[in-house]
């Protein structure tokens, strides 16, 4: 049986959704209609998450047909990202306890709370399984495939746990024993990066090395089809062939890189500190197609158009073919955002929990 408090919260939340806005309603929402009127964007829906005193929005996650929002008090709300209606809302951990990993897998959300690994149904919000692990804290988000979880722990090893019973299947570490900073997994391969710059590919079911590529202080790994992208503190963005580990290209930026590249349809987007967001052609990466000063991330793409968010609260539309800015709108310092490469919908928010979904009017 659902608790009455949950029902009251859900009903209250549903009444905050606004697919269509009247003029007098504009002051309630994150994005006024007047700001998008001169553009090709339209407001699909807006809503206000219920927040307690001193509570704020912590992070967003696009997950299938869901938009999941996690608050600073560890309250999780998942919405239908097409219409903004709430699907479920529940706490996933006591307030103040860090949620170290919050990742999607098929119809589940995988979270790490303290030393506990938790699976949450994305459809109903129910906690399917949870287990304590003993390898110490994790150093990067947990990933899994159909058979195994892969936990990169503070002992500088990946611990592979069987998905059905959480029994450890094997361990693996870099030859130099350096800290693991990122892990990718599919049914055949596991690829991990280390603090000293090793990119190592192993079989998914055993610690057998297939290939290794070395680069100084490798950061987060991102897969796109048969390519692996990552950024290094040596100022370079790299692209490797997944099956062989061969270098396809690298591009040197103007700063030490501290965030992952984001591959789009034909373009790779990279945040460069003190420079902004740059766009590189995925095939050659010879020079930036464009640069958005103060840009911090990609919101979405629509055809040859990219939508970018800046740290000053601008939503900027860029032409990836001509390399020019098409327009920008002020979205009110809404620096909470999530990158959506599934379709052209744009999701932005502020710390108060005001959410907006925009999309090109096609």
Q: Which of 255, 266, 279 is nearest to 227 (CA)?
A: 266
**Would you call 24 exposed, middle or buried from its count of C-beta atoms within 10 A (0-12, 13-18, 19+)?**
exposed
Start-to-end CA distance of the chain, whole Å, equals: 43
Number of H helices, E strands in the chain: 2, 32
Query: Half-sphere exposure (CA, 13 Å, Cβ side) for 328?
Result: 16
Domain(s) of CATH 2.40.128.630: residues in the chain: 16-48+262-362, 133-260
Alpha helices in the chain (DSSP H): 4-14, 33-36
Q: Rounded CA gap, 14 and 69, in Å? A: 15
The residues, ordered by sequence, that sit 6+ positions from 20 with a Cβ below 8 Å of its Cβ are none
Consecutive sets of 10 residues in the chain, 362 residues long: mean pLDDT of each? 36 44 64 92 95 93 93 95 94 90 90 91 86 89 96 96 94 95 95 93 97 86 94 92 96 92 96 96 92 96 97 96 96 86 96 95 80
pLDDT at 218: 76
* Confidence at residue 216, expressed as pLDDT on a 0 to 100 scale: 80
What's the CATH class of domain 16-48+262-362? Answer: mainly beta
By CB atoms closer than 10 A (0-12, 13-18, 19+), residue 34 is exposed
Report CA-CA distances (Å) from 299 to 33, 49, 222, 340, 345: 19, 20, 16, 6, 8
Look up residue 268 and give its two tokens.
Answer: 């790779």
Instruction: Give how far Cα 247 sits from Cα of 138, 176, 230, 284, 362, Å.
Output: 29, 22, 12, 12, 39
User: Given this model, what pLDDT does residue 80 score?
Assistant: 96
**DSSP per residue, 288-334:** EEEEETTEEEEEEEETTEEEEEETTSEEEEEETTTTEEEEEEE-SS-
Other C-beta atoms within 10 Å of 121: how many?
A: 14
Q: Considering the domain 133-260 in this protein, what is its CATH number?
A: 2.40.128.630
Distance CA 163, CA 333 (A): 41
How many Cα neighbours within 13 Å face the side chain of 40? 14
């Amino acid at each position: 049986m659902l608790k009455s408090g949950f029902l009251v919260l859900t009903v209250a939340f549903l009444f905050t959704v606004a697919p269509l806005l009247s003029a007098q309603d504009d002051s309630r929402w994150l994005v006024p209609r007047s700001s998008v009127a001169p553009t090709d964007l339209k407001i699909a829906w807006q809503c206000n998450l219920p927040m307690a005193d001193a509570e704020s929005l912590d992070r967003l996650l696009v997950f299938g047909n869901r938009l999941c929002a996690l608050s600073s008090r560890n309250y999780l709300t998942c919405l239908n990202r097409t219409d903004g209606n709430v699907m479920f809302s529940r706490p996933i951990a006591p307030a103040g306890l860090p949620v170290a990993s919050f990742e999607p897998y098929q119809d589940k959300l995988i979270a790490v709370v303290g030393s506990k690994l938790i699976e949450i149904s994305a459809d109903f919000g129910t906690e399917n399984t949870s287990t304590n692990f003993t390898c110490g804290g994790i150093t990067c988000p947990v990933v899994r495939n159909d058979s195994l979880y892969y936990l990169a722990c503070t002992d500088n090893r990946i611990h592979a746990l069987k998905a059905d019973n959480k029994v450890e299947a094997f361990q693996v570490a870099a030859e130099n024993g350096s800290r693991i900073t990122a892990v990718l997994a599919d049914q055949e391969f596991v690829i991990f990066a280390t603090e000293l710059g090793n990119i190592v590919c192993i079989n998914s079911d055993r610690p057998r090395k297939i290939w290794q590529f070395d680069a100084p202080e490798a950061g987060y790994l991102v897969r796109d089809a048969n390519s692996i992208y990552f950024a290094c503190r040596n100022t370079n963005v790299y692209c490797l062939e997944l099956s062989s580990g061969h270098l396809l290209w690298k591009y040197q930026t103007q700063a030490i890189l501290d965030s992952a590249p984001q591959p789009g349809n034909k373009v790779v987007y990279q945040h460069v500190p003190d420079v902004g967001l740059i766009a590189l052609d995925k095939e050659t990466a010879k020079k930036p197609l464009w640069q958005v000063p103060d840009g911090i991330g990609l919101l979405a793409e629509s055809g040859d158009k990219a939508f970018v968010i800046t740290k000053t609260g601008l939503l900027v539309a860029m032409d990836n073919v001509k390399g020019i800015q098409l327009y920008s709108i002020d979205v009110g310092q809404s620096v909470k955002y999530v990158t959506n490469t599934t379709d052209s919908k744009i999701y932005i928010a502020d710390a108060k929990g005001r959410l907006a979904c925009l999309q090109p009017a096609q």
